[in-house]
Amino acid sequence: MIAAQRISGALGAEISGVDLSRPLSKADLAEVRRLWLEHLVVFFRDQELDGKRYMAFARQFGEPVEYPMVKGIEGFPKIIEVKKLEHERIPFGGIWHTDTAYLDRPPMASMLLAREIPPFGGDTLFANMYLAFESLSPGLKKLLEGLRAVNSSTKADASMTREDAIKISGKEIKKYSAEHPVVRTHPETGRKALYVNSGHTLRFAGWTEEESAPLLKFLFDIQIKPEFTCRFAWRPGSIALWDNRCAQHNPVNDYHGYRRVMHRITLAGDVPA
Catalytic sites, residue numbers: 97, 99, 249, 264
Three-class SS of the chain: CCEEEECCCCCCEEEECCCCCCCCCHHHHHHHHHHHHHHCEEEECCCCCCHHHHHHHHHHHCCEECCCCCCCECCECCEEEEEECCCCCCCCCCCCECCCCCCCCCCCEEEEEEEECCCCCCCEEEEEHHHHHHCCCHHHHHHHCCCEEEEEHHHHHHHCCCHHHHHHHCCCCCCCEEEEECEEECCCCCCEEECCCCCCEEEECCCCHHHHHHHHHHHHHHHCCHHHEEEECCCCCCEEEEECCCEEEEECCCCCCCCEEEEEEEECCCCCC
Residue 22's φ and ψ, nearest 5 degrees, are -120, 150
Helices 51-61, 26-39: crossing angle, 10 deg rounding: 80
Q: At residue 71, what is the residue type?
A: K
First to last CA, the chain: 36
Neighbours of 196 (CB within 10 A): 30
Largest pairwise CA distance in the chain: 53
